[in-house]
């Protein structure tokens, strides 16, 4: 996960590094206990919030919840055994879930054993009598991590350790099918440089070819990705025919989940390669803006899946550009990049059949490749809107 935060010419980048974690028996027990405790806090607070609202039409704020923690610890002493920071972070998460609910309409759900099994703890640094105390310590050389209450544990997994720098913000400990992981979030500060772009690329996004550049390069959608996409579509069809909540219904649901995971991995691999190549070769990267529709009907599944790929490409191009101090720009959604002839600038309004791979301009008679033509137009449109970069 990467996030940005600008202030002046300094930019803060947040990046998470995930490792496999090797806790011993006692440490495993404590992690499991912490997972259970955070779930307990989450559910208890959710229940209390709902009760207060039902009975008094009052909302409970997260700081009110935090204040109740000591009392809860008295009632349930086992809560004292686990990392207290993890408990308060859970309360903040619940608060955020309610905040997001107004926007996403996803009402916070009670957590059970099958919910996402993880907890987060924040980094704290104390200096006492010239001694530095830190609750999270990552030792890259010896491949160990120290976490609150857990002490030292072996880690494995992330190879490009030279990348890891900056200051630790928090750590998320998770358990997936009896394996333990830790994801450490770092904050890095980089100074933004204003480079004048020397190489500029326009990018058109598609289905058969995922990416088409204004240089005429095409990156096709890999067959194995389409294979997974089709499998999901078929499973969805099956699912709709099964009786809801029956044994088979869950069986297919699980299969869909598994295939999604495979699809995501395959897609990420391909997309990372494409975006890496484009960003390292260009200084100004211009793309279209695609609107992601929510999945409304099953028959829109394929559109939904390909949109997901395309929005991931845009997301990666954007953060990799920032990461490397390059420029990134998205043109307006309504810019008619596929109708304009990149040769003479004439708008071919009569051009309706967007499935045609090639078309001839009614004014200059130039034969245009649909996608490359669009990519060139996108490049020009981005260039016109970014002339300030060249001064």
Query: Which residues are part of the catalytic machinery?
Result: 204, 288, 371
* Residue from 166, 343, 369, 389 binding Zn ion (CB under 5 A): 343
Locate tokens 């793309």: which residue? 287
Q: Which one of residues 361, 372, 376, 378 is an interface residue with Zn ion (CB under 5 A)?
A: 361
What angle (nearest 5°) sits at the alpha carbon of residue 15, between those of residues 11 and 18? Answer: 170
- The stretch among 61-69, 82-90, 196-204, 341-349 that binds Zn ion (CB under 5 A) is 341-349
Interaction residues for Zn ion, span 177-206 (CB under 5 A): none
Q: Could you say whether residue 360 binds Zn ion (CB under 5 A)?
A: no
Q: Does 336 bind Zn ion (CB under 5 A)?
A: no
Stretch that binds Zn ion, among 48-56, 88-96, 252-260, 335-343 (CB under 5 A): 335-343
Q: Determine if 124 is a binding residue for Zn ion (CB under 5 A).
A: no
Of 157 and 216, nearer to Zn ion (C-beta) is 216
Q: Smallest gap, in angstroms, from Cβ of residue 391 to Zn ion?
A: 31
Residue 123 token pair: 């980094």
Nearer to Zn ion, 28 or 360 (CB): 360
In the bound state with Zn ion, the residue whose beta carbon lies nearer, of 170 and 373, is 373
Question: By CB under 5 A, is residue 372 in contact with Zn ion?
Answer: no
Q: What are phi and psi of 378, to 5 degrees?
A: -60, -40
Rule CB under 5 A: say whether 348 interacts with Zn ion: no
Q: Which of 86, 301, 341, 376 binds Zn ion (CB under 5 A)?
A: 341
Among 58, 80, 344, 354, binds Zn ion (CB under 5 A): 344
Size of the site for Zn ion (CB under 5 A): 8
Q: Name, in order, each residue with C-beta under 8 angstroms of 172's C-beta and a sequence gap of 6 or more.
A: 16, 118, 119, 120, 182, 183, 185
Q: Among 246, 293, 364, 390, which residue sits at the site for Zn ion (rule: CB under 5 A)?
A: 364
Question: Between residues 151 and 343, which has the closer beta carbon with respect to Zn ion?
Answer: 343
Residues that bind Zn ion (CB under 5 A): 341, 343-344, 346, 361, 363-364, 366
């Amino acid at each position: 996960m990467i996030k940005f935060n600008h202030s002046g010419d300094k930019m803060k980048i947040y990046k998470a590094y995930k490792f496999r974690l090797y806790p011993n028996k006692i440490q495993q027990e404590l992690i499991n206990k912490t997972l259970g405790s955070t779930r307990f806090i989450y559910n208890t607070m959710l229940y209390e919030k709902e009760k207060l609202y039902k009975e008094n039409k009052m909302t409970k704020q997260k700081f009110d919840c935090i204040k109740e923690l000591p009392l809860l610890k008295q009632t349930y002493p086992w809560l004292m055994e686990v990392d207290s920071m993890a408990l308060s972070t859970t309360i903040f998460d619940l608060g955020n879930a309610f905040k997001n609910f107004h926007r996403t309409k996803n009402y916070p759900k009670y957590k059970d054993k099958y919910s996402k099994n993880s907890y987060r703890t924040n980094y704290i640094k104390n200096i006492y009598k010239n001694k530095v105390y830190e609750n999270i310590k990552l030792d890259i050389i010896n491949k160990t991590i120290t976490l609150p209450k857990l002490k030292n544990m072996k880690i494995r997994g992330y190879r490009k350790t030279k990348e890891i720098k900056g200051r630790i913000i928090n750590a998320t400990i998770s358990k997936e099918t009896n394996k333990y992981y830790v994801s450490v979030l770092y904050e890095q500060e980089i100074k933004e440089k204003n480079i004048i772009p020397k190489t500029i690329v326009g990018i058109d996004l598609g289905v058969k070819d995922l990416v088409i550049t204004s240089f005429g390069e095409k990156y096709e959608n890999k067959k194995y990705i389409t294979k997974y996409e089709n499998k999901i579509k078929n499973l969805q069809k099956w699912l709709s025919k099964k009786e809801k909540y029956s044994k088979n219904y869950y069986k297919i649901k699980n299969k869909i989940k598994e295939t999604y995971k495979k699809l995501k991995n395959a897609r990420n691999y391909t997309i990372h390669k494409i975006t890496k190549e484009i960003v390292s070769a260009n200084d100004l990267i211009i793309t279209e803006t695609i609107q992601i529709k929510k999945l409304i009907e099953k028959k829109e599944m394929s559109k939904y899946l390909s949109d997901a790929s395309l929005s991931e490409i845009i997301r990666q191009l954007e953060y990799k550009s920032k990461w490397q101090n390059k420029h990134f720009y998205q043109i307006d959604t309504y810019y008619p990049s596929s109708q304009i002839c990149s040769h003479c600038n004439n708008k071919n309004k009569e051009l309706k059949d967007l499935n045609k791979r090639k078309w001839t301009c009614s004014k200059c008679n130039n034969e245009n490749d649909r996608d490359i033509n669009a990519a060139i137009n996108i490049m020009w449109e981005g260039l016109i809107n970014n002339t300030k970069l060249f001064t």
